[in-house]
Structure 1
Amino acid sequence: MISLNFDIQSFLKQQWQKQPIVIRNAIKDFEDPITADELAGLACEEVISSRVVVTTDDDWQIIQGPFEDYEQFGSEKWQLLVQAVNHWYPEIEPLVDAFRFIPDWRFDDVMVSFATPNGGVGPHIDNYDVFILQGEGQRAWKVGDKGNHQQRNGDKNTPLVEDFDPIIEVTLNKGDILYIPPGFPHCGQTLTNAMSYSLGFRAPSQQELISEVADFLIDNNSGHQRFTSDQETCVAGNVVEAHQKKLMSLLSELCSKPDAYQPILGQLLSRNRFDLDVCPDEHIDTEALKDAIEAGALIQRIGGLKVLRLENDGEKRLFIDGESYALSTLDEAALGYLSENLTYDNEWLRFNIANEDLQSFFVDILKMGYVYLTE
């Protein structure tokens, strides 16, 4: 278990999505849950997103993984970054659990990096909240204020920005955390060989929401209501303002009805951006499930899986990785237990497994590989 050594409520009130902050010794006696060699091993896998950033004179070269050899990069001025390590390496999960004071739907992934001296990724701006936890080694960080920051060298395709005046300039040691909200430019430079853990929290953009609405309407053959009007103008080439507003009200009306937007939000917010390490159980059935529970089995979620419910949902259901699972005979307490817990203990399973909806639910997600039976 990992405990955070700061006042969570004060942080949420004063810093969350407002101001960057350095939290010294945020995790006491922190020890890296993964080694540099183990991280390099993950970056060998095709299915895992990884990259190396090489620092050159006033520039940063990005090389996409997978990687089999790092000797080409030398002993300094490069950094390995591996996304969604929490999906593939169970020892990262306690770190994720410590940050569940922020709702799961916001959580993106844990990116882990190994950097050599003078390695970094250059000054850039993220569109998500990030907690940067320092492991072994030291890294120097600069954070600037929000503002009209120009893309580096006028390149509209680069994520990098021009140098900025820092409002925070700090060296992180093991267990320190640097929190950066969206929109604040920042850059880090490694002082010694170092491990870092970036916990990202992301919310959907307008573009993503509109795209999800469109996909849902097409997939479900819905949203067929059309514009109607009780009067027309006599100007052929003009779209009057009243018609403009009424056309757009078709969207606002759709998005104001919970029975219309709740399944859309549930699917969008439960979906993972990165691949999950699924473990399908193709042979499981109801009897095998009940036998395993009777023998003392627990049910464990895989790393990174989101199990969400919507407050005041019009239906009793859960959303998992973009899909809806109906559980019409379960009460709110049971739905809450399933969405809040990463492990479903044997006592709870024994007490509730007689419910046929629950049996079907567990068989379905065991077959999908989202959970697995363990002792």
Structure 2
Amino acid sequence: MFSLNFDISEFLTQYWQKKPILIKNAFPNFEDLISADELAGLACEESVASRVVVTKPNDWQIIEGPFKDYEQFGDENWQLLVQALNHWHPDSSEFINAFRFIPDWRFDDLMVSFATPGGGVGAHIDNYDVFIIQGEGERHWTVGDKGQYAPKNNDPTTPLIESFEPIIDVVLEKGDMLYIPPGFPHQGQTLTLAMSYSIGFRAPSQQELFSEMADALIDANSGLKRFTSSYEPKLASQISSSQQKDMMALITELAANPNCYQAMLGKMLSQNRFELDICEPEEAYTSDDISDYIEQGALLYRIGGLKLLKLEDDSESRIFVNGEAFGYSDAIDADVQQLCEHFSFDNEQAAHLIQTTATQSLLLELLNRGYFYFGE
């Protein structure tokens, strides 16, 4: 069981998306979620997103996985990064649960790093919120204030920057945690063999929202209303200011209509950037199969990384799962809320869920999609 050793309410009020903070001993008696050897083995898998970052004089080399071995990298100046550990390592779900004071739709992934002395990625700025938790070993972190920073080697496409003045300068030890909001430069350098865990939270950009809205309108063959005007400018070559504003008002009209944006947001925000470990059964489950499994004492699990989201004040009764909408009757809303809130269900809880035919039907569909599975 993982529990954070700080005042969450104070954090959300004073720090969340505002400024970085160091929290010493955030996880008392913290133990690593995975061993370095297990992490190295995961990075050998084709379906797991991984990379090695090699530190070079004033530069870094990125090598994408999967990897067959690591002998080529030597004993120092490199680190292995594995994305979305929570998709492939079920034991990490309790760790993720400790951060669910931030809504699920923001959650991106749990990234894990094994680093040798001297390993790091250089000074950089991220466009997402991140919590960095130290496991075994020590890493030296510096965090700077928001500002204008020159990109590394004058490359405008890189998140790396030349340098910054630190406002936080600390050596993280086991159980310590840094929170860094978007836009704050930071850099970590490994002092001893070390394991680190990064919990990332993302939010959509204007560009992403516009793109998703356009795709949704095209798919639904909607948004076909055309611009009309009551007058035309005297100059044939002119687009008047009022016409410009009225054209853009067509977009505002769509953005203000829940029927136009709710399904788009639900589908968009329930998707993952990284591959899920879908557990689709070889043969489709039936209602009798579900009853049999639960009678035999089975537990019910949600696959790692899967998001089940509901929209407040939704125009329909539905949940969004991995980019799809699943409708349900209002009578089982409490059951659906339980499915959304929990990663696993003991045998008694699972038995309660299937007592209602409509809940059992929804659960059957989620099981056959490979989004839930039975286990011991």
TM range (shorter): over 0.9
Q: For 2:89 and 2:167, locate their aligned partners in 1 and report how far apart those are by CA, in whole Å.
A: 35
Contact 1:77 1:119 in 2 (8 A): yes
Q: What secondary structure is seen at the aligned counterpart in 2 of 1:362?
A: helix
Q: Which residue of 1 aligns with 2:372?
A: 371
For 2:288, the aligned partner's letter is E
User: How far is 1:285 from its partner?
Assistant: 1.8
Deviates more, 1:39-48 or 1:337-346: 337-346
Q: Which residue of 2 aligns with 1:182?
A: 182
Q: Which residue of 2 aligns with 1:256?
A: 256
Contact 2:332 2:359 in 1 (8 A): no
Contact 2:54 2:79 in 1 (8 A): yes
Q: For 2:355 and 2:124, locate their aligned partners in 1 and report how far apart those are by CA, in whole Å.
A: 53
Q: For 2:187 and 2:208, locate their aligned partners in 1 and report how far apart those are by CA, in whole Å.
A: 27
Residues 60-71 of structure 1 mapped to structure 2, 5 A cutoff: 60-71=60-71
User: How far is 1:352 from its partner?
Assistant: 4.4
Q: Which residue of 1 aligns with 2:213?
A: 213
Q: For 2:258 and 2:358, locate their aligned partners in 1 and report how far apart those are by CA, in whole Å.
A: 24
Residues 198-347 of structure 1 mapped to structure 2, 5 A cutoff: 198-281=198-281, 282-347=283-348
Q: Which residue of 2 aligns with 1:361?
A: 362
Residues 94-243 of structure 1 mapped to structure 2, 5 A cutoff: 94-243=94-243
Q: For 1:184 and 1:54, locate their aligned partners in 2 and report how far apart those are by CA, in whole Å.
A: 23
User: How far is 1:299 from its partner?
Assistant: 2.0
Q: What secondary structure is seen at the aligned counterpart in 1 of 2:44?
A: coil
Q: How big is each residue's C-alpha offset from its partner over 1:10-48, in whole Å with a ceiling of 9 and x where there is no partner?
A: 111111111111100000000101011100001101111
User: How far is 1:231 from its partner?
Assistant: 2.1
For 1:21, the aligned partner's letter is I
Deviates more, 1:114-123 or 1:158-167: 158-167
For 1:157, the aligned partner's letter is T
User: How far is 1:368 from its partner?
Assistant: 1.4
Q: For 1:372 and 1:363, locate their aligned partners in 2 and report how far apart those are by CA, in whole Å.
A: 10
Q: What secondary structure is seen at the aligned counterpart in 1 of 2:289?
A: helix
Q: How big is each residue's C-alpha offset from its partner over 1:285-327, in whole Å with a ceiling of 9 and x where there is no partner?
A: 2232233334443321011110010111111110011110001
Q: For 1:295 and 1:112, locate their aligned partners in 2 and report how far apart those are by CA, in whole Å.
A: 36
Q: For 1:214 and 1:116, locate their aligned partners in 2 and report how far apart those are by CA, in whole Å.
A: 46
Q: What secondary structure is seen at the aligned counterpart in 2 of 1:234?
A: coil
Q: Which residue of 1 aligns with 2:93?
A: 93
Q: For 1:351 and 1:116, locate their aligned partners in 2 and report how far apart those are by CA, in whole Å.
A: 49
Q: Which residue of 1 aligns with 2:77?
A: 77
How many residue pairs get matched?
375
For 2:315, the aligned partner's letter is G
Q: For 1:5 and 1:14, locate their aligned partners in 2 and report how far apart those are by CA, in whole Å.
A: 16
For 1:191, the aligned partner's letter is L
User: How far is 1:345 from its partner?
Assistant: 4.1
TM-score (norm. length: structure 1): 0.97
Q: What secondary structure is seen at the aligned counterpart in 1 of 2:331?
A: coil
User: How far is 1:365 from its partner?
Assistant: 1.3
User: How far is 1:331 from its partner?
Assistant: 4.2
For 1:279, the aligned partner's letter is C
Contact 1:25 1:176 in 2 (8 A): yes
Q: For 2:237 and 2:345, locate their aligned partners in 1 and report how far apart those are by CA, in whole Å.
A: 63
For 1:136, the aligned partner's letter is E
User: How far is 1:351 from its partner?
Assistant: 3.8
For 2:318, the aligned partner's letter is R
Change (3 A) 1:65 1:351: closer
Q: For 1:296 and 1:43, locate their aligned partners in 2 and report how far apart those are by CA, in whole Å.
A: 34
For 2:159, the aligned partner's letter is P
Q: For 2:331 and 2:61, locate their aligned partners in 1 and report how far apart those are by CA, in whole Å.
A: 53
Deviates more, 1:239-248 or 1:21-30: 239-248
For 2:362, the aligned partner's letter is F
Q: For 1:236 and 1:357, locate their aligned partners in 2 and report how far apart those are by CA, in whole Å.
A: 62
Contact 2:136 2:195 in 1 (8 A): yes
Q: For 1:59 and 1:178, locate their aligned partners in 2 and report how far apart those are by CA, in whole Å.
A: 25
Q: Which residue of 1 aligns with 2:59?
A: 59
Change (3 A) 1:293 1:230: farther
For 1:165, the aligned partner's letter is E
Q: How big is each residue's C-alpha offset from its partner over 1:252-306, in whole Å with a ceiling of 9 and x where there is no partner?
A: 1111111221111101111111001111023212232233334443321011110
Q: What secondary structure is seen at the aligned counterpart in 1 of 2:179?
A: strand
Contact 2:336 2:359 in 1 (8 A): no
Superposed CA RMSD? 1.4
User: How far is 1:358 from its partner?
Assistant: 2.2
